[in-house]
Amino acid sequence: MPIHNYGVLKGQAIRSKPGQGQNPHYQIQVVSENTMHRIAINVQSQSSPSELLYYVEDNYHHDILPGLEALGDGFHLLRGRRDLCLDYIRGNFFNVEQMKPLPYNVPGPDNDLNELLHKYVTKSIDIEDALVYAFGEKWGPEEKIDRYFGFKPGNGIHDIHMNQGNAGQWVKDNGVWQDGGLLLQFPKQKRWIAVFLAFQSQAFHTDDETGNRIDNAISCDLQGAVKIICALLNTGNQPRQSISLLNRGESKLSLDGWAFADRQKRRQYLKGYSIEPGSFLSIPVDDTINLSKDGGIITLLDNKGIKIDGVSYTRKDCQKEGWTTKF
């Protein structure tokens, strides 16, 4: 069953505290619509291994950003708003292969998750026009005083991490298009910072309906073998859009039954294509999918419907007619 009250909180960060204790969470106090909220971010897993996986990008681009910027301050429920929801696997928000484990509290400077979060959150606190967008599950309002920052009524948002692919007692939280994350916007700088977190116990191949893990979904030989490297999106004088692939593996691969998918999950199935080891292949795009010049995503699926690779692009990436966008 998916988590309840999934959405995004938009506001200004004013204080923070590092995670401590048995179940440590990095805490951020946020003011939004003259109401106080607390963002509680897991910095240690209750399952082994305890170190969370993280991905940070300090100059982040994705076509979700204009929609978020248009939101007013406050908490926004996002059920049914896939244009604004996070899904690490289906939304191509970043390459999950680049996530790395990091302990939450290690002696010395700049070497743990508390310090990594503090580095970026402090920038948001110090810059007057900076905004915080926290994706997860909302709680409150509560009658009791917030135990970290002392405001009343208590309000907040947690589950600021991937919320699918869980096992054991956390299976109940699985769902699609309900992942957590933290985005920081600096409007005057025209800059966004993205922080994405996951537990090492979670799986990155999940069912498209339930978000439950699919164990042994893909042969290890195929993981990372085929990559989307570029696409012709703004065709100019060219007759058709195209997507180019690279086979990084050591074997020739048949692409029969594979598919490209767009943001709306429409699919263009491939037939008669194969790709030699170490070779590139450009495939024309037909009208079964829509790769908008205003931004979108491209996902490559194998013949079992399992994601092999995925990329995102923005309107800015498609400005020059006839130019190929490199991923």
Whether the predicted pLDDT of 222 surpasses 60:
no
For residue 70, the SS3 value is: coil
Whether the predicted pLDDT of 279 surpasses 80:
yes
Which residues touch 186 (CB under 8 Å, ≥6 apart)?
123, 124, 127, 129, 130, 192, 193
pLDDT grade, residue 82 (50/70/90)? confident
> What is the percent of the chain with per-residue pLDDT over 90, rounded to a whole number?
80
Give 323 or 239, the one with higher predicted confidence: 323
Whether the predicted pLDDT of 217 surpasses 80:
no
Which residues touch 154 (CB under 8 Å, ≥6 apart)?
38, 139, 140, 141, 142, 143, 144, 145, 146
> What is the percent of the chain with per-residue pLDDT over 70, rounded to a whole number?
97
User: Taking the CB of residue 17, how many other CB atoms lie within 10 A of it?
Assistant: 15
Give the pLDDT confidence of 306-327 residue by residue, as tens digits: 899 999 999 999 989 999 999 9
Q: What is the pLDDT of residue 219?
A: 44
CATH number, domain 226-326: 2.60.40.1260
| Closest among 51, 76, 46 to 136, alpha carbons compared | 76
Q: What is the pLDDT of residue 214?
A: 85
Domain ranges of the chain: 6-199, 226-326
Give 238 or 297, the one with higher predicted confidence: 297
Q: What is the pLDDT of residue 223?
A: 62
Whether the predicted pLDDT of 92 surpasses 80:
yes
Q: What is the pLDDT of residue 105?
A: 83
Whether the predicted pLDDT of 88 surpasses 60:
yes
Average pLDDT, the chain: 92
Instruction: State the residue for tokens 């092999």.
Output: 308
Query: Residue 309, Cα to own-chain centre: how many angstroms?
Result: 14
Whether the predicted pLDDT of 107 surpasses 90:
no
Q: What is the pLDDT of residue 220?
A: 42
Give the pLDDT confidence of 114-170 residue by residue, as tens digits: 999 999 999 999 999 999 999 999 999 999 999 999 999 999 999 999 999 999 899
Q: What is the pLDDT of residue 99?
A: 95
| Closest among 165, 143, 164 to 155, alpha carbons compared | 143
pLDDT grade, residue 174 (50/70/90)? very high
Q: Which span out of 41-50, 65-74, 216-225 was modeled with the highest average pLDDT? A: 65-74
Which residues touch 66 (CB under 8 Å, ≥6 apart)?
none
* CA gap 52, 101 in Å, rounded: 5
Give 222 or 281, the one with higher predicted confidence: 281
Q: Cα separations (Å) of 234 from 112, 274, 290, 316? A: 42, 26, 12, 11
Whether the predicted pLDDT of 106 surpasses 90:
no
Across 32-50, average pLDDT: 91
Across 222-245, average pLDDT: 88
Which residues touch 239 (CB under 8 Å, ≥6 apart)?
none
Whether the predicted pLDDT of 16 surpasses 60:
yes
pLDDT grade, residue 39 (50/70/90)? very high
